Each structure stands twice: as structure tokens, then as C-alpha cells.
Amino acid sequence: MIPALFRIIPVIDQNTSETSFSAEVAPDKLVEDQSSWSQPENLPSLTAPELYINHALSHLQFNLRVLAQSMDEETPLMERLRFLLIFSSNMDEFYEIRVAGLRRQVEMDREIPGRDGMPAHEVLRQIKLQSHEAYARQYAILNDVLLPQLAAEDVRFLQREEWSEEQAAWVRRYFRGEVMPLISPVGLDPAHPFPRLVNKSLNFILSLDGKDAFGRESGLAVIPAPRTIARVVRLPDHLCDKGDNFVLLSEMIAAHAGLLFQGMSVTECHQFRVIRNADVEVNAADVEDIALALRGELHSRRFGAAVKLEISKACPEHLSEFLLERFSLTEAELFRVDGPVNLQRLNSLFDLIERPDLCYPAFTPAIPKALKAETGIFDALRQEDYLLLHPYQSFAPVVDLLRQAAMDANVVAIKQTLYRTGESSELVELLAEAARNGKEVAVVIELRARFDEEENLKLANILQEAGALVMYGVVGHKTHAKAMLIIRREGRRLRQYAHLSTGNYHPRNARVYTDYSLLTANEEVCQDVARVFQQLTGMGKAMRLKQLLHAPFTLHKQLITLIDAEAEAAREGRKAHIILKANGLTEVKVIKALYRASQAGVKVELIIRGMCCLRPGVKGVSENITVISVVGRFLEHSRVFYFQNAEPGIYCSSADLMDRNLFNRVEVCFPILDDKLATRLRREMDAYFTDNYQAWRLQPNGHYSINKPRQGQERRSVQSALLTKLAV
């Protein structure tokens, strides 16, 4: 059953409609350990460590909010499983990048405390405690809740002891024919040292009894599972009573490991995997060709330093100690799990069954009428701007704009940035086609988009072979801006059209990430976009832009100016209001500016999906600041900045409110100049603060509480409301 530690019970405050966690132990066990924090008696300096939340622990809290979705009984069952698997994927990346970085600080004796004052070794200690509890919760949810409920819906994962004779025979044949020929078992002895195992790969550690044909009896062996074989295998329907029945590859290998060691006895067989440091480091200043250097580094990512070991719960101590020694890890990095060691590989299940009744209802993203035409998008954009909110509104007009540009004889040039686009991207094919059609195509591809580097290298080759001019951004700064510029000859003049977005040019992500797209022919905006591309592809001093805010040059400074202007308006007795929506808020000067605005009386509302280092509700400092995080069907990804007394007063941005975005990346923040669109966008931001279903509110002590309806109050989900309003 689920450990009492994680038995979440909503407690509803009838006055505020906010819900806190109650459990059989203190709720701070579920989130960042803030037990040492207390409301300062005296007004602290804005640099005081107690005013800041540790960013790594805040990141971990977001992952826990994702995991909590798997327990929401109002969410369809397969979607609850999906949230459980997303948590697994998120935690892998958390260890590969954040934990790996903290460990490196400790190992090099270079611990650099953040604004919260917490040294790396203390952060690692808290991560260890919370992560072990979180993994225990994850597998308890899987084994005690989701798998039984799936079985009740005739979706089953059959264990070895559940196989009928016919099923066992089929599995054995499948193993002999499809799996066994690809396995290379490694008996450990001086001639067969412990193998170099790939990051996150499925492996087995075995104890053997007996001697082999050469007289060897080391007693230990390792089986690396073939990475090319599906981890979830469907049993033939005629072998099962009903429903969808599956066997895991790990069960197959464990059941038949003896076939790989003829004449010997397998006394122990346990699955394991190692998580490694996956951060790719390329000193761009020291290489002549960043693409060539990155290709070399990508291979080493698979074999970085180990940071975490997962092993089956039943594995005996002598085998786990053996593995820890081989990976130079300690008990603190050992996780014993009660189930498959790589849960995210269960994602293949969603392609193997058709159970729409267990998933979110399907919907059709809407397309504005003027943008539906096969041709004529340029005519529509000359009339007015269009603001699309994906996934409620379709990404198709963006693709159609590029398609029309690639085919239109009057289009002479196309410029585009690509950060993440996805495998076999139609956008890349259209850019290549445009180049083959004789248009000037310039593409800035960010090769260092984490975990998409290899894919981006392939896309770069496709475009170069088609004749496009491909560049890799700016040395020392990731190109994170999302922009497309189309130059079209119309009569005696060249006219420009632009697309700007808060999200990537990734059609698949546009179906699950919330992002804003602006399609415009506004001359000043398009001229600014052209200047940004000129800086990306050429060299020269920073150019003055009329409408866009541009990192690393003007965005951070202008954000501080806009925040301070709201504070001044409040001091003068005027109404002042700030809404900031982003994926993360960690940059200290922005946080300080927001504290000053709160002290001046500005109403500050923040929608921060993930990391938030600002501590709201501190008397005398941030009591006018509200922070919420919405976790639901769609990944909240859009960045929106609203300032009541500014003109223009509302912006969309590719940048989060984090140091890396504001100082170390090329980002574009664009104003919404059309009054009608600006009013709509503001209303959509306001709707987030009416959510009493999937909005989590950050408390002064660093805990998050989930909003719930008061008695008799209607449930309100901002994502459901937007889906109803905007989609078909």
C-alpha cells in the first residue's frame, strides 16, 4: 500500500478555498524541507538568504507536483500513468544535470552557495531524503493503485508467476528468436572486466554457480539488455482471455537468464541501471567548428560520471555493494525500486493499445477563419495581427505560412531560428524545399539544445545539402529565440512578415505545450526581427530595436525598469499591477525588483510553472505577491509579462526569468500591439488565478498547497476553460 508519508489528504480552507497537504507525518516531507524557516521579526535586507528558496529544491518540488497528478482520480487512468512516467523522465534529467552539477561542486571542493545560502552538500542531503521518499511513493502508486486499476480495465502486465503454460511457451519462443540472439552476456573475470554501460540502459547483475566450458567460476555476470528491443511486448490475443495483455522485457530476461549460461545455475538475477552526468560541455571559444566538437562530446555523454544507481528491491547487499563500488557511488546514491528500473520506457504502451475511454477526450485545435485558406496568409497578415494559443489553437497556420513562402515566387528570402524541432520535421523539409527553389534561406540552429543536439546536427546537414545557409548562433550564447522572417517582393518594394513565439518550432510539442504564436506584418516589429537575424548571422555592435526586447542586451534591464515603474506608480497613489508568467523565476535582480514593487503596494501575481526562488507572503517584503503553479493536461510553457502602467503593457517572450535566459542566451520578447489581442491575452492571464483545481499556491514557508473549490463552489480549471473557449 502507499506509505503513510505520501497519503495526501486535501484540507480545505473555507475562506480562501486553498488546500494544504495533511498526512500522517508533517507535510514538509512532501516538499522542500523549510522547517528551519520562520517569518523574520525585523524587516530583512533584500539580500537576506531567508528571502530566497533554493533553486534545485524548488525544481524537485515541481517534479513532486507532477507526481501528485498520478493520484488525481478525476484524471483519466491512462493519463495518470502518463504523469507517473513523466515524473520518472523529469527525475532522470534532474539527476543527469542538477545533481551532477552539485556533486561536481562538492568533489572539486568548490561549493558556491546560492542566494539562499545553502551549500551544495546540504542541498544534496535534502535531495537524497526527498528523492528516496518520492521514488517509494512512485512505485507504491504504480503497484498499489494504477496497475490494479488498469487490470480492472483489462489492461494487464503479466508477471512470470501469472503466465499460463501457453503464454510461457510463447514468451520462451519470443525470447529465443527475438531477444537472445542480440544479447551479449558478460561473465566477469580478468579477461572480461566490468563493462562500460550506457547511461540509463537496462542491465542485469547475476550470481552464478558452477564452472563454464573453460573452467571459469567467477560467480558474477552482467547482461546488458538490447536497446533496440521494445521494453513492452504484447501477448497474442488468442493466448489471453480478454483485454490487452503485456509482458515486460525485463521479466523475459529474468525468466530465461539461465539459457545464456548453459550448464551453470543462476542463483540471483536483478535488474539495474545507472544514471550518469549528461551535461555536454563544449568550450566554444577553444574550437574552430562547434558542430565537429559537439559530435565528439555527444558520445561521451552516454558514459559520463555515475550519479545514481537504481536496482531491484530484492537485490542482496553483496551485489548492490559490488555495483556501488564499480560506479564509485555510495549508499546515498542507491535507489531500491519495487518494479521496472526505467519506468519511462513504459511510454510505448500508449502506442500499443487503443483505449480512448481511459485517456483525455480528443479535441480539434481551432484555426482562425482568415488563416484557413490554402493561399492568402500574406493577405490576412497585411490586414491584422494574429495571436494563436497552442495547443487550443492549431500550429498549422505557422506551417502553412512557411509552406506558402516556400512555394511563392514572390518570396525571395526566409530566415528562421531552430532550437527544438523534432525528428523528420516538416518545417525543416519546407526550408530545404525553399532553398532548392532558389530562395535565400538562412537558418540559425542551436546545436546545444540539451538532449536534442544529435537531432539538430542531422537537421543541419539536411539544410546544408539543400543549399540553405546554416549557422550555429553566437559563441558563448545559446540561441533560444523563436523567430521566422519572410521577405516578399510586392510591387516595387520588399515587404516583411514575421512569426514570433514563446515555444519551439516543434509541431508535436505544439499539441501538448501551451505557447503563444504571433503572426504579424507590423513594419517596426519585422524590422526588429531582421536586425536580430543580422546580429545572429553577422557581426557588429548591438542594434537599437524599436519594439522588441532582446537578451542579452535590453531584456533584463527593461524588465527591471518596467517593474520599478509600476512601483513608482503605486507610490504616487495609482493602481499598479504586474503579472509575470514563466517556467522559472531565479534571477536575483528581478526578484529584488518584485520585492520592492510589493513593498510599494503593487499587486504582483506570478504564474511560475517550475523553479521559483522568490518567497511570497513575507511581512514587509512580499505580502503583495502571489505565486501559483498550474500542472495539468498541457505543459504550461508560455511566457507572458504584463505591466498595468506601461505602453505597450503586455509582452510575450521566449525567455524565462532566469540568469541563463537573461544573460547567456539570445532571446526575443515581443509586445502585443493590437489592443484587441492585448485585452484577450490579459483576460487569459487573469483566468489562471481563478483556477481552483490544478493551481498550486506557493506559501511563505516554501510549501505548495493545491487550490480546491469551497463547499458548493464550481470547479474551475483554466486549461479546461481555454479548451472550451478556443478549441473546436
Question: Is 680 known to sit in a ligand binding site?
Answer: no
C-alpha cell at 348: 510505448
Distances (CA, A) of 599 to 564, 602, 611, 618: 11, 7, 23, 10
Q: Round the CA-based radius of gyration of the chain to a whole number and report it.
A: 27
CA distance 265 to 263: 7
Type of residue found at 556: H
Give the total residue count for the chain: 728
Buried b (16+ CB within 10 A) or exposed e, 139-168: bbbbeebbbeebeeeebbbbeeeebeeebe
DSSP 286: G
CA distance 548 to 482: 13
Phi-psi region of 328 (alpha: psi -120 to 50; beta: other; left: phi over 0): left
Distances (CA, A) of 382 to 140, 372, 521: 57, 15, 6
Question: Is 410 known to sit in a ligand binding site?
Answer: no
Q: Are 8 and 71 in contact (CB under 8 A)?
A: yes
Look-up: residue for cell 526575443? 668
C-alpha cell at 71: 493520484
Q: Which of 462, 371, 463 is nearest to 415 (CA)?
A: 463
Q: Are 546 and 528 in contact (CB under 8 A)?
A: yes
Question: Is 637 known to sit in a ligand binding site?
Answer: yes
- How many CB atoms lie under 10 A from the CB of residue 645? 18
CA distance 419 to 363: 27
C-alpha cell at 124: 544534496
CA distance 377 to 371: 6
Question: Is 513 known to sit in a ligand binding site?
Answer: yes
Is the four-CA dihedral 652, 656, 657, 660 of positive or negative sign?
Answer: negative
DSSP string across 302-352: TT--EEEEEEETT--HHHHHHHHHHTT--GGGEEEESS-S-GGGGGGHHHH
E-only strand ranges, 542-638: 549-551, 577-582, 603-608, 625-630, 635-636
CA distance 381 to 401: 10
Q: How is the beta sheet containing 306-312 ordered, strand by strand?
A: 186-187, 220-224, 203-209, 265-276, 306-312, 334-337
Helix then strand then coil, % of the chain, to nearest 5: 40, 25, 40
Q: Are 601 and 576 in contact (CB under 8 A)?
A: yes
**Which residues form the catalytic set?**
480
CA distance 510 to 637: 10
Type of residue found at 600: A
Q: Which of 310, 304, 309 is nearest to 276 (CA)?
A: 304
What are the CB-based long-range contacts (under 8 Å, 24+) for 236-241? 236/170, 239/164, 239/166, 239/167, 239/170, 240/167
Q: Are 504 and 481 in contact (CB under 8 A)?
A: no
CA distance 348 to 344: 9
Q: Are 429 and 399 in contact (CB under 8 A)?
A: no
* Cα angle value 174/175/177 (rounded, 5°): 65
DSSP 601: T
Question: Is 283 known to sit in a ligand binding site?
Answer: no
Q: Which residues are annotated as a binding site?
A: 90, 420, 450, 513, 609, 637
Q: Which residues are annotated as a binding site for Mg(2+)?
A: 420, 450
Q: Which residues are annotated as a binding site for ATP?
A: 90, 513, 609, 637
